[in-house]
A and B are shown apart, each in its own frame.
Chain A
Amino acid sequence: MLLIPCPYCGERPEIEFTHGGEAHLVRPAPPAAVDEQTWTQFLYMRSNKKGPYAERWRHARGCGRFFNAVRDTTTDHFIAVYKSGEPQPVAPVKSSP
């Protein structure tokens, strides 16, 4: 059970959240303009990082908000959390433990 630092509510147990997949996916705008490869990339291709990985979480059973997080997939440590729409931090904002 991860302890997830929601930027709005603080540390809450994993059971209150739903995972939102990879972060910073850009929906082509307008989609009609892009070719098959680009659309396929957006629909199906995801990076599968070993190490720091930018992903989304939603505090579904809390504040209900989406936010972004950088989590190390080998240790499950949360390196950073930041609000939806913000860019991925370059340097670690929050280290744990």
Chain B
Amino acid sequence: MKFRTPSGGRIDRRQPISFSFDGKAYQGYPGDTLASALLANGVHLVGRSFKYHRPRGIFSAGADEPNALVTVSRDGARSTPNLRATQVELYRNLTAISQNRWPSLEFDVGRINDSLSRFLPAGFYYKTFMWPRGAWKSLYEPAIRRAAGLGRAPTLPDPDRYAQRYAHCELLVIGAGPAGIAAALTAADSGARIILCDEQAELGGSLLSDPVPSIDGKNSSAWLEASLAKLGANPRVTLLPRTTAFGYFPHNFVGLSQRLTDHLDSPPPGLARERLWQVRARNVVIAAGAAERPLIFPGNDLPGIMLAGAAHTYLHRYGVRVGSKAVILTCNDDAYQTALDLQAAGTQVGAIADIRPAGGGPLTAAARSAGINIIYNATVQGTRGDQRITGVTLANTDLDCDVLLMSGGYTPSVHLFSQSRGKLEWSDALKAFVPSVSAEAERSAGACRGIYGLEEVLADGANAAAHALQLNRAPPVFEIDSPERRRDSFLGALPGAGTSGSKSFVDWQHDVTTRDLALATREGFHSIEHVKRYTTTGMATDQGKGSNLNAMSIVAQQLGRPIPQVGLTTFRMPYTPVTFGSFAGISRRDLFDPVRTTPTHAWAETQGAVFENVGLWKRAHYFPRPGESMHATVARECRAVRDGVGIFDASTLGKIEVVGPDAAEFMNRLYVNNWNTLKPGRTRYGILLREDGFVYDDGVVARLAEDRFHVTTTTGGAPRVLAMMEDYRQTEWPQLKVWLTSTTEQWAVIAVQGPHARKVLEPLVTDLDIGAAAFPHMSVARGKICGLPMMLFRVSFTGELGYEINVPADFGRRVWEAVYAAGADFGITAYGTEAMHVLRAEKGYIIVGQETDGTATPDDAGLSWAVAKSKTDFVGLRSLQRPAMQSANRKQLVGLKAKDGRTVLEEGAQVAERPAQRPPMQLIGHVTSSYGETTVGYPIALGMVAGGRARMGQTLYVPMPGRDIEVEVTSPVFYDPQGVRINA
């Protein structure tokens, strides 16, 4: 480790650890990041840029890193791309590789893009790759997709476990630098529950890399240790290192991502990799600090060009000199301290190039005494080097160097504040946006609101906590001994940027240069939101942390507008990338969605049923015999129902009890039917519309008593029908005395359908006369079956003599098995949803959501017979009166039969009046249901066709790839149109 200092830093020097980067072995220390360890070994080149594949080096020491994106893998499945090397904690045998280069980092073929950069400016893809037209799909797009992106996603499922937790607290402090720690200390004795989180492995923030001589008489290390010990001992304080506050949501709901195992040599199996905290805080103090601003000049992206503060951090926190020969380019005093410290550690400092016209103060004097050359009014004309900087050319001087450290001042981190929808205001003095008016119970403290002096930062943190918790006593005061320094900031591009042949980068990660911004404004993009999207500045994984402000300033200057008018683009979560796994938590595989099963599910499994998903329900689709194809099974099941008797589980149907003195009035106002004429003991097919007149749901409604209706709905419809009913009951007609109860899961429903159905049931139903005369079609009665309470409906969705037995769900399987046994002599056959669909389609019965799609009126679906003519109001009536709803050319329910008698139409296929059309075709409808295995002897289909009812017997065409299928328009009722069998 050639560039490791002999001592110092917060790393553990007792035992070096091995790691590898791009297949090469290196050594580092526990406490290193991957970046600090690489720099200790003299490695700066770590990646290739996004578009131009330019060599790039480590730029920063934190979350704002734009260049050093690596892929870290533990094994084939545990591979994470686009990690910032500056935030990857080093562990034994860590394996990392660089990205976006082929065949190697040192020799990357993609570099050719850099020479072609005139053809690849911002937005080039809107202007190129247009010709020939077909080439886009076959050539350009696949090639661009392959070349695009940075890292490669893993291809194996994520094997790790992710935990989630909710937490409440009186004070959430985001950031454990000096401001955050001062806030936590101030709040600690108040009894409030406090959560203090920080994205870094160690709490302390800037104190970890800026060893201030003294805080309250201790050196910063000792003060930090004592403060954290005090906080750690307090049972009301939760300290969360390695925890990033990534999102600020309304009502002080903050998302934290806690990393638990990524830093370990070997994570214990069974330990969650990460934990997502969802915190509801009564108060929030944001102490997120400030990030150093880069400078923009020609050739500002060579490896070895990095932020001065980062070099300072690498030296003091990690014991690493970033180079042998440094030039410092700065606009503030902090970088002077860095120059002095690097020189003391053995790095030659060629010069401090100060952008300001003049300096002064103790640091300037110290630099001069140390023999460091200071150049004022400095500006950069260019840099030299290819895969590492070798020199920099200032206005009058040419200097050799292997690192160029730049400091453009500081940008307060207002990301979370902005996410909370607080208002920012522009500060001319700081040349930055700072928090102004909070939108939530939140305060910013310290550098994130533009306060940089340590003494003021500590006081600011203390005050923020005191005000947030309305503490009576005075907040603590911290005594600091630290040199005074001027922290100026610079904004925008240095003079000379954009003029020479070299590129001046504004957004390093997306390869956006000053010329791209100029192009955007020249082409007429004047809103910063448009400029951002056109140039992609600020849109990379670093979300413009180091580039947004400079970009905005350059655009403001080009447009001749003041900066506050141009403004910033919207800040969005996450602050830094968060794994999908932590959001998924346990919602994976079997736990992704609940599974709903019917009372006969286990029985159906023993019979070898094949199931289908209907929403969250598992329903038996068909019951194949060994060796039977699905077609043969469905044909057999349908035949069995029509000729003998079938048994079907209809338990998933929605059921709602509507009860009360005004139950009938309520039903009349809601459904299209006249319920006054429905006597207790009878059922009727009900249709529910929305106010816009379109069919919303349908189902058989039974009147059990004067004041009690049993309403059934489609399987998926029960929750939304109940919601609609509650809406009208509570808010539109609250004076009606009616109450609603969902009973979907309380009743098992066993359908027994076929000419032998009565003979099967008669022996089992001993207290009811279910003879043809006593119990006609559409009757309902209570009784007993197998000694159990039952509601028996005589209803049929198949067109055969049929019943639906409702018993309490717990008895569903028992009764099913009793009926099945009783039906053995009649060859009773279990049938599934596929056969159910075929049988109802043969009778022209619609399924809401299949034949209808939210734009069909009752008349469109052939159901105007169900609409009560005498009612003056029901939901949807007014809309049915609209002229457009009565047009004869509306899409109407018809049957469709392929003229060749064999072709099975595809559901969703379109219908046309004329064959052999070229796009755009004139289409007049579509196929809604289609079945090949039927009992009528040919494939049938239902469709919605414009003016369908007037087209009986017409020949229409279903255009498919390669041919048109000739179809005949028929009645939707293919079987027993007189209804003889259903009334048996």
Contacts and interface: CB of A to CB of B under 8 A. Distances in A.
Interface of A: 1-3, 18, 20, 27-32, 34, 36, 39, 42-43, 56, 58, 60, 64-66, 74-77, 84-85, 96-97
Contacts of B727: 20, 58, 66
A75 B439 contact: yes
22 contacts: A1-B249, A1-B251, A1-B278, A2-B250, A18-B723, A27-B691, A27-B732, A36-B882, A39-B882, A42-B691, A43-B691, A43-B692, A56-B731, A65-B730, A66-B726, A76-B421, A77-B250, A77-B439, A84-B731, A84-B734, A97-B440, A97-B441
B655 interface: no
A36 B884 CA distance: 11
A67 to B, nearest CB: 9
B772 to A, nearest CB: 42
A58 to B, nearest CB: 7
Interface residues of B, number: 27
Given A20-B727, A66-B727, A39 B879 contact: yes
Interface in B140-171: none
Nearest to A84: B731
B726 A58 contact: yes
Contacts of B253: 1, 3
B280 interface: yes
B882 A75 contact: no
Contact of B723 (A28, A42, A60): A60
B878 interface: yes
A27 B421 CA distance: 36
Contact of B252 (A43, A60, A66, A97): A97
Q: For the complex, would chain A's binding face be called helix, strand, loop or mixed by DSSP majority?
A: loop
B778 interface: no
Given A32-B872, A32-B878, A36-B882, 6 more contacts: A39-B882, A60-B723, A66-B731, A84-B731, A84-B734, A85-B734
A27 B876 CA distance: 12
Contacts of A58: 723, 726-727
Contacts of A34: 878
B665 to A, nearest CB: 15
Contact of B251 (A3, A18, A32, A66): A3
B873 A31 contact: yes
A32 to B, nearest CB: 6
B881 interface: yes
Contacts of B278: 1
B939 to A, nearest CB: 40
Nearest to B421: A75
A12 to B, nearest CB: 12
Contact of B873 (A32, A39, A43, A84): A32
Interface in B240-283: 249-253, 278, 280
B877 interface: yes
A26 to B, nearest CB: 10
A58 B691 CA distance: 20
Contacts of B878: 28, 31-32, 34, 39
B339 to A, nearest CB: 46
A94 B873 CA distance: 39
Contacts of A28: 878
Identify which of B252, B730, B877, B882 gathers the most chain A CB atoms within 10 Å of its CB: B730
B879 A43 contact: yes
A28 B692 CA distance: 13
Interface string B675-709: 00000000000000001100000000000000000
Given A1-B278, A31-B878, A32-B873, A66 B730 contact: yes
A36 B881 CA distance: 10
B534 to A, nearest CB: 27
Nearest to A20: B727
A70 B730 CA distance: 19
Nearest to B438: A97
A84 B734 CA distance: 9
Nearest to A30: B873
A74 B250 CA distance: 11
B283 to A, nearest CB: 9
Interface in B869-906: 872-873, 877-879, 881-882
Interface string B706-736: 0000000000000000010011001110100
Identify which of A1, A74, A84 gathers the most chain B CB atoms within 10 Å of its CB: A1
A30 B877 CA distance: 11
A30 B875 CA distance: 11
A39 B878 CA distance: 8
A2 B278 CA distance: 12
A56 B723 CA distance: 13
A32 B440 CA distance: 48
